[in-house]
């Protein structure tokens, strides 16, 4: 298995293991854009800027190859809906290659995962990306994932929205606002 697939597997594993599963189009820069009402600016890294809902908590995990920023809402007695941004450092793949590696890894990690639609082209901050939507059956229930994958020649970015299928619409507006205001540095 190549390094890319292993690293993407780590990303999926980190998202599942981050404690987030327990209850209890081209855009202007963030500095240039007006924040949606109730949103805060996140700029605490070298790779991106983003506005996030002020009622969300923020956690980070950083290592030599990956940075993950979790934006999540704590809810009682169920999976915590979350939007996270993963920066995979030193990725020099085209977005199509990165998408292929991501899909191979998903199939390896979750043989029963289902793509809800064909991957579609998606532009973020002037970069061509791909959007995938899939579901994974987890202990907490069926979880819906929406991911935007972007590569810049130096790094890969994955913006993910995860929530239980029956609550998938609950934070969709927040996800869309965050993607719309995402700026790569």
Q: What is the CATH number of the domain that holds 67?
A: 3.40.1000
The pLDDT of 115-139, averaged and rounded, is 94
Q: Is residue 160 in a domain? A: no
Q: Is residue 56 in a domain? A: yes
Both tokens of residue 123? 């532009």
Asked if the model's pLDDT at residue 144 lies above 90, the reply is yes
pLDDT given at position 7: 52
pLDDT given at position 22: 38
Q: Is residue 161 in a domain? A: no
Task: Give me the number of domains the chain comprises.
Answer: 1
Asked if the model's pLDDT at residue 179 lies above 80, the reply is yes
Q: How many Cα atoms sit within 13 Å of 67 on the Cβ side?
A: 12
CA separation for the pair 34, 39 (Å, rounded): 10
Helices marked H in the chain — which ranges? 3-17, 95-109, 172-180
Q: Is residue 17 in a domain? A: yes
Sign of CA dihedral 47, 115, 133, 70: negative
What pTM was estimated for this model as a whole? 0.82
Question: What backbone phi and psi angles, to 5 degrees, belong to 49?
Answer: -130, 150
Q: Is residue 86 in a domain? A: no
Q: What is the pLDDT of residues 103-125, one digit of tens each?
A: 999 999 998 888 999 999 999 99
Tokens 């901050």 label which residue?
125
Question: What is the 3-class SS of 112-146, one letter each residue?
Answer: CCEECCCCEEEEECCEEEEEEEEEEEECCEEEEEE
Q: How many Cα atoms sit within 13 Å of 82 on the Cβ side?
A: 27
CA separation for the pair 152, 144 (Å, rounded): 26
Q: Is residue 143 in a domain? A: no
Q: Is residue 144 in a domain? A: no
Q: Is residue 30 in a domain? A: yes
Asked if the model's pLDDT at residue 161 lies above 80, the reply is yes
CB 171 within 8 A of CB 179: no
Query: Shortest CA distance to 30 belongs to which of 55, 10, 7, 47?
Result: 47
Q: Could you list the residue range(s) of the whole structural domain that residue 9 is in?
A: 3-80+94-133+149-154+168-184
Query: How far, CA to CA in Å, does 24 sit from each of 51, 80, 136, 138?
Result: 26, 9, 22, 18
Categorize the per-residue pLDDT at 11 as very low, low, confident or very high, splitting at 50, 70 and 90. low
Q: What is the pLDDT of residues 44-77, one digit of tens each?
A: 999 999 999 999 999 999 999 999 999 998 887 7
Tokens 């199939």 label which residue?
107
3-state SS, residue 148: strand
């Amino acid at each position: 298995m190549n390094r890319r697939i292993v690293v993407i597997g780590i990303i999926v594993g980190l998202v599942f293991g981050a404690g987030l599963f327990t209850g209890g189009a081209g855009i202007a820069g963030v500095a240039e854009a007006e924040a949606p009402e109730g949103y805060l600016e996140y700029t605490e890294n070298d790779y991106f800027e983003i506005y996030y809902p002020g009622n969300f908590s923020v956690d980070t995990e950083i290592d030599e190859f990956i940075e993950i920023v979790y934006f999540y809402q704590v809810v009682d007695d169920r999976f915590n809906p979350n939007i996270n941004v993963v920066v995979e450092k030193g990725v020099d793949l085209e977005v199509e290659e990165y998408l292929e590696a991501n899909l191979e890894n998903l199939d390896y990690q979750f043989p029963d995962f289902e793509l809800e639609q064909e991957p579609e082209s998606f532009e973020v901050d002037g970069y061509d990306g791909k959007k995938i939507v899939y579901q994974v059956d987890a202990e907490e229930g069926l979880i819906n994932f929406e991911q935007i994958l972007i590569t810049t020649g130096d790094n890969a970015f994955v913006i993910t929205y995860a929530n239980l299928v029956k609550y998938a619409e609950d934070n969709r507006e927040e996800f869309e606002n965050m993607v719309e205001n995402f700026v790569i540095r």
